[in-house]
Amino acid sequence: MAKAMWNGQTVAESETTEMIEGNIYFPEETVKREFLRSSSTSSSCPWKGQARYFTLLVDGQENPDAAWYYPDPKPAARQVKHHIAFWRGVEITK
């Protein structure tokens, strides 16, 4: 079971995840959407495609752009479609 925690709350938990470049991607249905806020931030990866971000909001604390996803990943990264990954102090345990 993989778990993502931030500010004392579990923000995602799943038995099935995808791992790419050391990052664990959680199926989007296992992420607690009440903690996500849309962000205007995006970035580009040459082989995964265009990433979009979410800001985490937990108990009044914000963690800007702490989650990301690939809405339309390139073929080499198709396994992360409908998955969300975390960073910036989000603790991932497996």
- Mean local confidence (pLDDT), 13-24: 97
Q: Give the model confidence (pLDDT) of 42-92 as tens digits.
A: 999 999 999 999 999 999 999 999 999 999 999 999 999 999 999 999 999
Report yes or no on whether pTM surpasses 0.75: yes
CATH numeric code, 2-93:
2.170.150.40
Band of residue 33 on the pLDDT scale cut at 50, 70, 90:
very high
- Give the C-alpha separation, 11 to 14, whole Å: 11
Residue 83 pLDDT? 98
8 A C-beta contact, residue 63 and residue 88: yes
- Mean local confidence (pLDDT), 20-33: 97
Residue 45 pLDDT? 97
Query: What are the extents of the domains in the chain?
Result: 2-93
Residue 17 pLDDT? 98
Q: Are strands 83-86 and 61-69 parallel, antiparallel or unpaired?
A: antiparallel
**DSSP tag of 17:** -
8 A C-beta contact, residue 3 and residue 13: yes
Q: Is 35 helix (H, G, I), strand (E, B) or coil?
A: helix
Residue 23 pLDDT? 97
